[in-house]
Chains A and B, each alone.
Chain A
């Protein structure tokens, strides 16, 4: 009954460091998404995937890369972290796309100093 699991929950990075955020879902959903949430703004789509082995850019993709090697996992990478990437990152999944409900993870709070 896990749903969408994100790891880690918290992380502090120094500018220029790299890291990978992991999202795992156990609902056999085809679509997976990465969002960022900043104060005073709505969630913004970074990248998404419509199936294993496929990824696409969202609204704010710069500075991020993603991979979906397995259907249940969606990885978000930051190659060279910048303070502007300080945010709360949410992963979500849905069965087939925007006409269906999304299930969100509990988020990763990332601070870049």
Chain B
């Protein structure tokens, strides 16, 4: 069964610290993997999208990595800010034309 598992479920860090969120998937065949940020009461906003040939992609303080062999991805947030408090969702796309598979998300809380 195609699944996307994220860990941890929730995380609390101090402002200025770094953190890494994990995503494991079983989707096959694989087309691309994306990370979304969802603020409370808002829709998801795309951070990165990677195909199977890409190992890393950055968007400001957000860096996503992908290991298509082990079917793992991570999202690293550098020098966290209060505005980083949100849910981060890993989404995997199978072969072209199939639906996206969403993880349940990791809720990040950044405190001062």
Contact = CB atoms under 8 A, between A and B. Distances in A.
A90 interface: yes
B29 to A, nearest CB: 12
B99 A42 contact: no
Interface stretch (B14-22, B61-69, B90-98): B90-98
A107 B89 CA distance: 16
Contacts of B103: 42
Residues of A contacting B: mostly: loop
Contact of B43 (A90, A97, A98, A99): A90
A59 B99 contact: yes
B104 A104 contact: no
Interface residues of A, number: 22
A58 B104 contact: no
Interface in A64-100: 90, 92, 97-99
Nearest to A104: B43
Given A42-B4, A58-B99, A107-B41, A101 B46 contact: yes
A105 B42 CA distance: 8
For chain B, the bracket of interface size reads 20 to 34
Nearest to A44: B102
Interface in A20-42: 40-42
Contact of A98 (B45, B93, B102): B93
A23 to B, nearest CB: 11
Contacts of A106: 41-43
B49 interface: yes
Given A45-B99, A107-B41, 10 more contacts: A42-B89, A48-B99, A97-B96, A97-B97, A98-B99, A99-B31, A101-B34, A103-B46, A104-B43, A107-B43
Interface of A: 4, 40-45, 48, 58-59, 90, 92, 97-99, 101-107
16 contacts: A4-B43, A42-B4, A42-B101, A42-B102, A42-B104, A43-B44, A45-B99, A90-B43, A98-B93, A98-B96, A98-B99, A99-B31, A101-B49, A104-B43, A104-B44, A107-B42
